[in-house]
Structure 1
Amino acid sequence: MFYDERQVKEAFRLYAALAAKGYGDKEALRLYLADDVVRGLVEEFAQEVDCTVIPAGDQLYLIPLAISSPFHISNRRLKEEYLAAHAVNADIYLMYVAIIVLFGEFYDSYQTTEPTRDFLPVTDWLNRLNERLLVLKEMDPEELEKVEREQEYNWRQVVEKWDALDDLREKVKAQDARTRSRLGFLHTVQKFLEAQDLVRDIGEHELALTEKARTIIQRYYMEVEHNQSILEFVYQSSQQKER
């Protein structure tokens, strides 16, 4: 296929801007939507680095789809930029589960494709995560070990890490990412999600999803096979416990 030189240069400039910042402004979104050829080229460039391009709200985002993508946030970067100095992989596993539960509260345990609530109090997030992990803690150890092998996910470390956090300090007035408590840990996760433009703090200790988060969850998050198996495990286990 023959491409006009102007369109190729425009597409590359747009992709380069996305690669540099991870997102584009209203003008980038306008250029992306206005020309089918430019849009197609930008998407091809993104595919070459295991990414996709999504418009959300009035911005454009470059989203990594695989660990192999150079734009994927590595475990090392998570530890260095967002977690405590003593953080280990179990902290990252727990962070991921906390995010699963947070998103699940907006999407009725992933039973809907549209959010069923506008905001989530952090205390509700904490309580639901407590419930989910208590169910896993009470599972038969051999059954949990079998699930770990199938999913290649260390659930026992997640439960142990959560248990190690001091839930007696939840009522401390000044909670921050350094506070060794469960609320302190959720504050750390919140800061990461805010940095990635996935949640907004709307005050009164309440969080709302961004347009970027809604788009990613609807288009990709529930469809990735590895995510699906983990979502089903976390929520089906809890539902069985509630019966």
Structure 2
Amino acid sequence: MTIGLENGTVMRAFRIYTLLARDNAVGKEWLQEYMADDVVRGLVDQFAREVDCVTIIAGEQLYMIPETRLSPFHMNNEVIKRTYLRANAVNADIYLMYVSIIVLIGAFYDSYQTMEPTRSFIGIEEWTALVNERIALLKTHPEAELREMEQEFSYNWTALIEKWSAMDDIKETAARQSGNTISRVSFMDSVRKFLIAQELVIDIGNQEITLTEKAKVVVQRYFMELEYNRGILEFLYQSDTFEGEGSEHASDL
């Protein structure tokens, strides 16, 4: 911390940071204070970096989000399983959740060919169908290639495919859901609830969701970046989007 800063300035910055650490976000009043003072803003950002987080502005809110798995604010797989998935969830459920999120974002961003959303909302059944389409394309890869890609991306693609295939592709009533078999729509609803809890989507009714401003900033800042997701995006979409005309857009990701 820079020597000579006024105590009041440091404490204002620390107050914003503590609110971010507690709530993950602060509202308009604190955002204005963050934006109005370069020193306060620099200190808040410095505090965030010390815990492997970054700050982002979305709408009228300031958010702090973990940037690496080393951050104490990173939500690990066990917490996600325990909080948002079934009691007997395994790592394959986590892989499937993440792929479902990638497909959701791809639906809004024209298979990652645009920097702005090209649609306003999506229904859970259409989202489920799009995930099914991606996994059906994954099945067309030779098993040896899937194994190779598992090493490259640290994703168990085979387990993910098996997990999805084991789910019923019909809407089940609560009474019919039992054991290890759940409906795909039921699984997607769990992913939807996770995204709502993380303030990445909003439920607008009629089984439809829309992206939040926070989600749009995160997508532009991270999902489109080479070091984060490019290889996985190419692998998931190479069968259609990244061939032919779509390949012209690949360098834009």
TM-score calculated relative to the size of structure 1: 0.93
Distance in 1 (CA, whole Å) between partners of 2:230 and 2:43 is 30
After superposition, what is the alpha-carbon deviation per residue over 1:42-86, rounded to whole angstroms, capped at 9, x for unaligned?
A: 000001111001111111101111011110111110011101000
Q: Which runs of 4+ in 1 moved over 2 A?
A: 172-175, 237-243
Q: Which consecutive residues of structure 1, in runs of 5 or more, have no partner in the other structure? A: none
When the two chains are superposed, the root-mean-square deviation of aligned CA atoms in Å is: 2.1
Whether the 8 Å CA contact 2:97–2:191 is kept in 1: the answer is yes
Aligned counterpart in structure 1 of residue 111 of structure 2, from 103, 106, 109 = 109
Whether the 8 Å CA contact 1:8–1:38 is kept in 2: the answer is yes
Whether the 8 Å CA contact 1:25–1:58 is kept in 2: the answer is yes
SS at match of 1:37: helix
Per the TM alignment, residue 239 of structure 1 is displaced from its structure 2 partner at its CA by: 3.8
Aligned counterpart in structure 1 of residue 147 of structure 2, from 140, 145, 148 = 145
**What residue identity is the alignment partner of 2:14?**
F
Task: Tell me the equivalent position of 2:91.
Answer: 89
Taking only the aligned residue pairs, the percentage that are identical comes to 52
Whether the 8 Å CA contact 1:135–1:241 is kept in 2: the answer is no
Q: Which consecutive residues of structure 2, in runs of 5 or more, have no partner in the other structure? A: 246-253
Aligned counterpart in structure 2 of residue 53 of structure 1, from 35, 52, 55 = 55
Whether the 8 Å CA contact 2:234–2:242 is kept in 1: the answer is no
- Aligned positions of 1:1-243 closer than 5 A: 1=2, 2-167=4-169, 169-170=170-171, 172=172, 180-223=182-225, 225-239=227-241
Distance in 2 (CA, whole Å) between partners of 1:124 and 1:24 is 34
TM-score calculated relative to the size of structure 2: 0.90
Per the TM alignment, residue 242 of structure 1 is displaced from its structure 2 partner at its CA by: 10
Per the TM alignment, residue 147 of structure 1 is displaced from its structure 2 partner at its CA by: 1.1
Per the TM alignment, residue 20 of structure 1 is displaced from its structure 2 partner at its CA by: 0.7
Count of paired positions: 240
Report the CA distance shift for 1:242/1:89 in structure 2 as closer, same or farther (over 3 A): farther
